[in-house]
Chain A
């Protein structure tokens, strides 16, 4: 799917000119009927078999074109507006901040002396998302390969459909499940880790365990798993059969076929899927607000109660925020917006470099 080279070269406004000059009366009739609701001011000036119709200043063509152009521009306007309005509301709060916004560890913007810092939140966001992807990506790719190349075709299709459905399950459901059901096995696991591997700082500490970064990251991983799986499965299914058969004909085992034919072909699509998953994980609010034990502090300890992310903090602190508090939350949202924007633009840049592969995968 290239840049529509198969259409007529002159597909702009002038695509119909040749025809019009040939069969003028019929075309006039057709145009007249079709545009009866849109009166043409310039219609009267056209006579006989003379000149080609000039493109009109206020014709339906122009109007429609302008309408679509406006809709297209709206996207750019919205993105710009997001940045502008967030900045506009964040700046007063940042001015009022009596501590360093980047390094202060804490969040009390509602005090008479507002103090808040993004450092811990940004750290928690990145840590939980990175952990979640670390867990989810290998598993998701494994499932995608299983569904596309190992499972019997019918089973693969049926399970793929199920995975697509799971990808649509709202995150609040995963959050609720993580808090009500999943937290107790994770707590047991944390206690076990602490008992036997407590000498590793990641698993140290002396409790309480459970509502930890690990629970949050696992819930996130389970949440993005269907998303990454569903996208990469589609990519794997698109591998040209000729490539796969060529690999097999050269004597490759099934794994070698996957490694040499399927995975390289799907790489841009995989990157796109992972980045989409990362975007989801970075911006995930409710699932983390329900599972993390909200604390402020930078710690690599994965199993003790604690952890916080920008998005979860917004959801939790929004209720009792005053004017400055709202501004502070908006400032933190601006940071999150910037992080996701950077991640997204990087991903898109990678994908656009090899876009012929990814037209339908990205």
Chain B
């Protein structure tokens, strides 16, 4: 900032007639762009090193250089920098939009290919490589059950943990919990899958299963819980901190014990925010593939019992169909992907809308 100020002070009064510095005319930028593209086309096709894509890329670089040079000559160095960065930021936006639009477009165009009743009513049981039909009913059942169980485990645990951090926790222990919740956010999904594999599938499940380790939807739910827990704790914690102190103090003043204040005053006030966090966590868990692959195993048949035998899930279904050699598999994979994205997006949109109506939100 100081450099800015001094440069103002020391600048000689170059144009005494006008307060404003000289500016590039409005047509300068498009003109430079056209010139840059033309020059790029000349270079690329002149020495024959590529096609239209390279022309655009080279043109963009030349445009940036040209713009900087022109602005530097007319408006001065600071303005030239400003223009160049502005152009860079805009081009970053365009650059990123292209692939993301392509993802969405492919998802919709390829995903609607198999979007029919059969897809949602059948499983992959007895579907061979040459059968065009087959569906994701079993996978949808699996996703719903696993995510549902994971939510049932995580929500009470996560909310109580957040209450501890915000309301009761003091000193180093609470700080350690907070810190490790943050650290836990970064645990890769595959590690949580391996943890449940080592802990539940290989060590605990043989007790119930005549000594043989067994995959199950419940194990997948456990792995998803490990992933959901930190998200829920973090968002709940944030919301609890936003509850105004006078609400709590009013309750205390009326003689309400602390635990009851928390349950009857603090939690209801923070509820919309907590629900938003829970929904976002569910949306993330629903899309996880790796843990389900490791501990639920995946299966072709409908299995509505989450505590026994293999279960599939939508994301795992996508992965398995993507690796399938059948020529009908890609269509199934894309339709399942579209279903999964629709499920996740509905949850996310609902959560965001809820967050907007939240009185506490920032």
Which residues of A, 1-19, contact B by the 8 Å Cβ criterion?
1, 4, 6-8, 11-13, 15-16, 19
- Contact call A71/B93, Cβ cutoff below 8 A: no
Q: Is B318 touching A283 in the complex (CB atoms < 8 A)?
A: no
Distance A170 CA – B164 CA, assembled complex (angstroms): 31
Q: Which of A72, A82, A173 meets B187, CB within 8 Å? A: A82
B182 contact set on A, CB distance < 8 A: 344, 348, 362
Within A81-105, the residues touching B (CB, 8 Å) are 81-82, 85-86, 88-89
Whether the Cβ atoms of B341 and A6 lie closer than 8 Å is no
Query: 9 smallest A-B Cβ distances: which pairs?
Result: A283-B188, A170-B287, A142-B92, A71-B160, A64-B259, A68-B164, A279-B186, A253-B82, A72-B164
Contact partners of B54 in chain A: CB under 8 A? 192
Seen from chain A, the residues whose Cβ lies within 8 Å of a Cβ on chain B are 1, 4, 6-8, 11-13, 15-16, 19-20, 23, 26-27, 30-31, 34-35, 60-61, 63-65, 67-76, 78-79, 81-82, 85-86, 88-89, 138-143, 145-147, 150, 161, 164-166, 168-177, 179-182, 192, 196, 222, 225-226, 229, 247, 250-256, 258, 260, 275-276, 279, 282-286, 289-290, 311, 314-315, 318, 326, 329-330, 333, 336-337, 340-341, 343-345, 347-348, 352, 359-360, 362
Question: Which residues of B1-32 are within 8 A (CB) of A?
Answer: 1, 4-5, 8
Q: B88: CB under 8 A from chain A?
A: yes
Contacts of A256 in B (CB 8 A): 4, 78, 81-82
User: CB-nearest residue of chain A relative to B90?
Assistant: A146
Alpha-carbon separation in the docked complex, A14 to B180 (Å)? 29
Known: A64-B259, A138-B92. A72 touches B161 (CB 8 A): yes
Whether a CB of chain A sits under 8 angstroms from the CB of B220 is no
Residues of chain A lying within 8 A (CB to CB) of residue B180: 75-76, 79
Determine the distance from Cα of A61 to Cα of B174 in the docked complex, in whole angstroms.
18
Establish whether residues B294 and A318, one from each chain, have CB atoms under 8 Å apart when the complex forms: yes
Residues of A within 8 A of B349 (CB): 165
CB contacts (< 8 Å) of B260 on chain A: these are 34, 60
A142:B88 contact, CB within 8 angstroms: yes
* B319–A286 CB distance below 8 A: yes
Q: Are B165 and A315 in contact (CB under 8 A)?
A: no
- The 8 Å CB contact of A145, one of B89, B315, B348, is B89
A75/B258 in contact, CB under 8 A: no
Given contacts A15-B258, A279-B186, contact A82 B192 (CB under 8 A): yes
A260 to chain B, nearest CB (A): 5
Where chain A touches its partner, the secondary structure class is helix
Quick one: which of B59-95 are within 8 Å of A by CB? 78-79, 81-82, 85-86, 88-93, 95
Q: State in angstroms the CA–CA spacing of A127 and B46 once bound together.
A: 36
A-B contact pairs, 5 of them (CB 8 A): A142-B96, A145-B89, A330-B197, A333-B190, A348-B179
CB contact list, B290-320 vs A, under 8 A: 290, 293-294, 315, 318-319
Task: Tell me if B151 is interfacial: C-beta within 8 Å of chain A.
Answer: no
Known: A60-B259, A348-B183. A168 touches B362 (CB 8 A): no
Which of B4, B167, B184, B186: most chain A Cβ within 10 A? B186
Question: Do B160 and A85 touch across chains, with their CB atoms under 8 A apart?
Answer: no
Verify A7–B318 contact, CB threshold 8 A. Answer: no
Residue-by-residue, is B28-62 near A (CB-CB < 8 Å gives 1, otherwise 0)? 00000000000000000000011000100000000
Whether B188 contacts A13 by the Cβ 8 Å rule is no
Across-interface contacts of B337 in A (CB, < 8 A): 170, 172-173, 176
Q: Given the complex of chains A and B, what is the CA–CA distance between A292 and B345 in angstroms?
A: 27
B274 within 8 A of A: no
Question: Does the CB pair A340–B106 fall under 8 Å?
Answer: no
- Which of B50, B174, B191, B229 is A283 in contact with, Cβ under 8 Å? B191
Docked-complex contact B241 and A4, CB < 8 angstroms: yes
Known: A15-B252, A172-B315. A79 touches B183 (CB 8 A): yes
Residues of A within 8 A of B140 (CB): none
Q: Contact flags (1/0) for B265-305 with A, using CB distance below 8 Å? A: 00000000000000010011011111001100000000000
Q: Please, how many angstroms separate the alpha-carbon atoms of A286 and B189 in the complex?
A: 10
Nearest CB of chain A from residue B326's CB, rounded to whole Å: 15
Smallest CB separation, B280 vs chain A (Å):
7
**Residues 318-341 (chain B) with a chain A CB within 8 angstroms:** 318-319, 322-323, 330, 333-334, 337, 340-341
User: Would A250 and B4 count as touching, CB distance under 8 A?
Assistant: yes
CB pair B318–A337 under 8 Å, yes or no, is no
Among residues of A, the one whose C-beta sits closest to the C-beta of B99 is A222
- Contact present for B259 and A65 (CB under 8 Å): yes
Knowing A179-B322, A225-B96 touch, does A27 contact B255 (C-beta < 8 A)? yes
With the chains together, A337 CA to B184 CA distance in Å?
10
The 0/1 profile, CB within 8 Å of A marked 1, for residues 187-214 of chain B is: 1111110110111001100000000000
Contacts A8-B252, A170-B288, A333-B190 hold; do A16 and B258 have CB atoms under 8 A apart?
yes
Q: Which residue of B has the minimal Cβ distance to A161? A: B352
Identify A142's interface contact among B93, B254, B257, CB under 8 A: B93
